[in-house]
Amino acid sequence: MAETTDSIFINRELSWLDFNSRVLALAKEKTVPLGERLKFAGIYGSNLDEFFMVRVGSLYDQTLLKDNKTDQMTHMTASQQLSAIMPKVEELQAKCNKYYQHLMDQLADCGYKKVDFNSLDKQEERRWKSYYQNEVFPILSPQIVDQRHPFPFLRNKETYFVVQLSNKTDGIYYGIIPINSQFERVLYVKEGEVTRFAFIEELIAHYAASVFGKSNVQKSCLFRVTRNADITVDEGMMDHDIDFRDVMSELLKKRRKLAAVRLQFWPEAPQDIVRFLRDKLMVPADRCIAQTAPLDLGCMFKLASRLSADGHSELAYPPAKPIQAPHGYSLYDEARKHDVLIGYPYQSMRPFIRMLMRAGSDPDVVSIKMTLYRLANDSQIVQALINAAENGKQVVAMVELRARFDEQNNIDWSKQLEDAGCTVFYGFDDYKVHSKLTLITSKVNGKYRYLTQIGTGNYNEKTSEQYTDLSFITADQQIGEEASAVFNNMALQRLTSDVDTMLVAPLRFKSVLMKEMDNEIARAKSGLPASMILKNNSINDPEIINKISEASCAGVRVDMIVRGICCVRAGVPGKTENVHIRSLVGRYLEHSRIYCFGTGADMRIFIASGDFLTRNTERRVEVGVRINDPRIAKQLYGILELQLRDTVNARVMQPDGTYTKVKPVEGQPPVDSQMAMYGYFQHGWDTLPEPEAPKKVPAVQNNKPAAAKEPAREKSTSRFRGIFGTLFGRGKQ
């Protein structure tokens, strides 16, 4: 069954493709600097690779098993979803080809001209042929595929040159040349004021047919393979008395050889070659895609780096470094006095790292416990834990080895932690531990005292400068005791339910937030103001979606800020009329999760590591916390209000599920919530206004919209606008 126009549900995979379309749109956005547009094209390509490797790979596995299970919302089988995905992918590829050509034209206008190997003059031909013969040809590894030579294994996400050959002896046969990471991807030649650049795969495609000697070259092209990467831990593997790291290492080897799920061809797809590769790799025809944009858009990052290296600062975003803490500031001491909220990437992660280092040397500290999901390659967080263990502290690290594409990194870190004397465990057989939780336990005057950190993002120094996340640190004794119970339960393979202040999925996460929704529904039915603001990365939990619809029908104003997958449709008459959904895609990856119910004195606000995806609410261990400190609650509400007024990064969902870019209000400067956040943190929280309650929204009776037009959310006070006016306009007000 497909989606219908009156349904409130949108298919997860199609929603994700819509999100990646919003990323791709930034590659053509004129207000985005050229170097950044190149990066967005690269991000789009990387996202799509992962989509095929994981989501299409998973659906492919279901079709092989003849699993007729349907998705929970649109009731589409795996085959139906694959059939719906590919036309969307083709549509996106057509846009990508077009935007790529625009980028090349604009690069040429800036003095960077791409080499067209089909139109070289004699001097250029000599230059490039000489480079090929001297630098490339000696390290090529051509392979023949015929009756005597088997088809080679083709590596995931690697580009190949393929030729169809013929001679009188062997008839039709094929040659394949891998183009792997040993080659420099982008080649540059400086000609006066102009820099010419070429992609290595196009250079090889122009000259490499001669590798096959006297054979008659019939047809040739470049192609790239994408393989399934959706690996799962088989239950039987957990029964053996072996280290789970060894299990994961074996699975990673298996991943490299999983089935191909996509074939890309450049610049065209000769049908004889397509049939040959399809036969060998068993890829359906609709997953064979010809394109004029590069097969691997990672080259866009290389070009952006070159612009930066050449000093073209005007082609990049203006510098924006994390705000450093004042000299002498100690987060370790400050958090013991009052709750603290840190916002990344606007504020630096260094105070948190220094807090861990200080705890590791504090004689009163007896233990440091931490959940680790994704870490930087050169992690200062891990070093702080190792130092603490070497100082005699009890260090306990819950390392999630199943963090997709970070498995090997986490295996390596877990060994280093263990070698340093830390206690390492891996979590549950059936639940990934996605929590962001740190607990520092001290013993002072015979009593245990806690310092607890709960975050929305990973302990990763690199992504803390690219993702918007929140880190809450508190000395609240009850929260510390609950966090201690969470760690103990995880170590003993037990789920946590007996907590009052914290949220802990899967047993006490969704239920708490649903109860908060019920409270707002009851208020609306009693004629009282009622509202919810829900900010997260994705939503597809049908139980939560139905509750949001119920709230809308009761007259609750529901504002949702959902960056990626959004399986609820806004504005469906009689179902989600009071639901307003926007997606923010901009300079930073919006990653924080904030759930706000009510306003003013009645406001209850939470931050959490978990989204409203079923996997987060039911199949992962997530943590969150209600923010009771009124000062920090006001800070969080201010962030939400600011993002609801964004007119630079925001796109709003329409009733048909499409998104429309928000335009600045005429006569007013544009509102860039991401860049304004620097001012938000720089000026200090005490300058923010008290949050205001929105006006009451009319209820929907008997599934029919109320006659009165729904009012917009209350605008922030002029005092709030005054603080950030210059930042919104990126100049003088």
- Rounded CA gap, 541 and 536, in Å? 13
Low-confidence ranges of the chain (pLDDT < 70): 1-5, 214, 231-257, 683-733
Give residue 700's pLDDT: 46
As a dihedral over the C-alpha atoms of residue 408, residue 411, residue 416, residue 422, rounded to 10 degrees, the angle is 150
Residues in the chain, overall count: 733
* Helix 34-50 with 12-25: angle, nearest 10 deg: 160
- Rounded CA gap, 484 and 448, in Å? 11
Give residue 69's pLDDT: 83
Q: Give residues with Cβ within 8 angstroms of 5, minimum separation 6.
A: 656
Give residue 711's pLDDT: 36
Whether 436 contacts 459, CB under 8 Å = yes
What's the number of CA atoms in the CB half-sphere (13 Å) around residue 218?
13
- Rounded CA gap, 592 and 457, in Å? 7
How many other CB atoms are found less than 10 A from the CB of residue 52?
22
pLDDT, tens digit, for every residue of 597-610? 998 889 999 999 99
How many other CB atoms are found less than 10 A from the CB of residue 240?
10
φ, ψ for residue 619, nearest 5 deg: -125, 10
489 sits in which H/E element:
helix 477-491
Whether 434 is catalytic: yes
- Cis peptide before 138, with omega less than 30 degrees from 0? no
DSSP 211-236: GGTTSEEEEEEEEEEEE-------GG
For Cα atoms 88, 91, 97, give the angle at the middle one, nearest 5 degrees.
140
Q: How far is CA 396 from CA 331, 370, 391, 417, 601, in A?
A: 22, 6, 14, 9, 39
Among the listed residues 203, 227, 187, the one whose alpha carbon sits nearest the alpha carbon of residue 140: 203
Whether 706 contacts 574, CB under 8 Å = no
The reported pTM is 0.89
Of 206, 434, 580, 591, the catalytic one is 434
Give residue 337's pLDDT: 94
SS3 sequence of 256-312: CCCCEEEEEEECCCCHHHHHHHHHHHCCCHHHEEECCCCCCCCHHHHHHHHHHHCCC
